[in-house]
Amino acid sequence: MTGPGDGVVAEVPGAPKHSALAGAVDWRLAARTGAALVPAGPRTSRYSAEQVVVELAESSARAEGPVREVSELLDDRAVPAARIVDRPGWINAAAASMASLTGENDPGRFSGKPAGVQAGAMLAFLSTAILGQYDPFSGADGTLLLVAPNIVMVERTLGVVPRDFRLWVCLHEVTHRVQFSSAPWLADYMKHNVEVLGDVGDEPVNEMLQRLLEEVRERRRGTVAKKESDDPADRGVLGLLRATQAPPQREALDRLLMLGTLLEGHADHVMDAVGPAVVPTVEQIRRAFDQRRRRPANPVQRVMRALLGVDAKVAQYVRGKAFVDEVVGKVGMTRFNTVWTDGDTLPRTDEIAVPQRWIDRVLG
């Protein structure tokens, strides 16, 4: 990899030393609540379920070589085995990861329990849609999670070749593992910004409400319409959340959103670049999968997607991939990989949509 980071996040003046989010959510209760609420996955025989687990494990290992070759992200770290889970398994893993990221809650305290129930309900909803996830906060090497019932459900819905689809999913998720293993400073960068995001400080509530009211007025006047069309971070509930935040928290959220956009777009770029060589039906899969992303959800799903920022997440894939496609097309993968050097080389909010700005700033 070109220009590896040193794994240390620079101190930001006034940044919190400990997460202010610690104790806000009872993540153990969230895990129990989510597991109790989650609907069952698709019906399948025990033999078929066991075969899915075996094939996903093999596919995740098989994806590692092509992903590293195309991405040019190389290191000498061992390749950990993927963890194949069901929906409750993903909920437990996600809750444990969030507890690690934000700080454990004292199980005897009541303050985090209402939020724990709410978080559990959201995890239950998300657990029906997640195909895979790389968790950089669990253990020294992180954990690659693949949610078997959801992968089976989607491949059946799309009518694609199961073996090809499973490998295709693994190409995307393994890329995330490679990103973090090749640039280990990324995990600390994420933690740092989450801490800043959770530090509400002593700002008067009336100032926060004033910003929210002003944002609502501008939306009614239509003065933010263009901004909303360009940036998913400014849409719907997420946009209103940003409007209530003081500048340090808004900047931390923007940094996290830009990092997420880069990670997802880069994974999609690598997946599509590798695909034709190892996934025979990749064009059919990509076409069917993109149609599924655009398919309108029912009213309840639309509300949940808005509340959880799912639509902004989908936009991240599109905007991020367009950024990576253009930069790699202009300067090549080796020079593009300068992006993984440190926080200063990550794309900024005004550079994602205009990649040449990033090229001019970072590569000169």
71 contacts 178 by C-beta, under 8 angstroms: yes
What pLDDT, on a 0 to 100 scale, did the predictor assign at position 111?
61
* Tokens 């039906």 belong to residue: 281
What confidence score (pLDDT) does residue 16 get?
40
pLDDT of residue 11: 32
CA–CA dist 96, 74 (Å, integer): 29
- Determine the Cα–Cα distance for residues 27 and 35; give it in Å rounded to an integer: 12
Residues 59, 63: Cα–Cα separation, whole Å: 6
What is d(CA 68, CA 178) in angstroms, rounded to the nearest whole number?
7
The predicted pLDDT at position 116 comes to 87
Per-residue pLDDT of the chain (364 residues; tens, 9 = 90+): 333 233 333 333 333 444 455 567 888 999 999 999 999 889 999 999 999 999 999 999 999 999 999 999 987 777 788 999 999 999 999 999 888 877 665 555 556 788 888 889 989 988 998 999 999 888 778 899 999 999 999 999 999 999 999 999 999 999 999 999 999 999 999 988 888 877 655 454 455 455 455 545 554 555 544 444 445 444 444 555 555 667 788 888 889 889 999 999 999 999 989 988 999 999 999 999 888 766 655 544 544 445 445 555 566 778 899 999 999 999 999 999 999 999 999 999 899 999 999 999 999 8
Q: Which two tokens stand for residue 242?
A: 């940003």
CA distances from 194 to 17, 257, 288, 309, 364 (A): 12, 11, 35, 17, 31
DSSP state of 3: S
In 129-269 the beta strands, taken as DSSP E runs, fall at 132-135, 143-147
Look up residue 175 and give its two tokens: 């890329």
Separation of alpha carbons 312 and 236, rounded Å: 9
The pLDDT assigned to 10 comes to 32
Q: What whole-number distance in Å separates Cα of residue 26 and Cα of residue 48?
A: 36
